[in-house]
Structure 1
Amino acid sequence: MLGLVKKRWLGPAWGILSALLLGGKAWGQGQPLLVVDGDTVTAGEFLYSYQKNQAVRGNENTLALEPFLESYVDYRLKVADGRRMHLDTVRQYREEYERYRSAQLASMILDSAAVEAAYRAAYGRMLREVDASH
């Protein structure tokens, strides 16, 4: 069943993504790309995930758009199955999710503190340096 659902959506989804990449990113990013278990995924949401994944992978490990689309559809189908089985309400899952969320928030707070320190240092240098021109 999942294979049939996946194949049914990949053709139109691939067409929309090709049009986005060839015709410009502003057109159609709000267009529905696929619907999984009642959740609509827009082309813009998919492209955001694709670009974020490529940034994490780096240039040497880039994944072509079509294989990433297949992986993304598999991911969304697994999430839908997990919700249908109420796995998101299991205590162990909630605790693990909360630990992950806390770790992510802590890294964001530390990163924002480092960014703030860098801004202050750059501003301090700007105040001390003199730009002389004739």
Structure 2
Amino acid sequence: MNLILKFSHHQFTEIAFIIENSNGYSHSAYEKSVIEESELTIYKPAELVQFIISGLESELYEKETDRIAAYWALSKTFDKNLIPNLKSWLKSELENEKSTAVFQILIALDRLDEPVFPGNRTGQAYNEVELNYKYAKNYLKIK
């Protein structure tokens, strides 16, 4: 049986910092203190990622805000193996009209060099709902 943990918003922040740290990212004193005080450091970053994926796949995170935090933490991995998961979640969030979750997944995919935003776009914002839906549909090839 796979272990599934449900993380709080603060724990997603801890996980993001732990993942960044494992990727060699240089943190501020505050971020370092968050990592040092975290009880989640007993897990390897890859295990934390799997816990998040399992939680998302099992629909453990009913609130959009929880899923947004999960997608944000996963965006720190730079793991292209997450692309199929992110595409699936993007389709689901788009179908359910969860605009901020759609935006966060687009950002995660963009960080993985996926062509989610047109090259001529000068910025990205969560409140550009119709544009973000358009980009998501184009990326997923949905009419």
TM-score range, shorter chain: under 0.3
Larger radius of gyration: 1
Larger helix share, 1 or 2: 1
TM-score, normalising length: structure 1: 0.26
Larger strand share, 1 or 2: 1
TM-score, normalising length: structure 2: 0.25
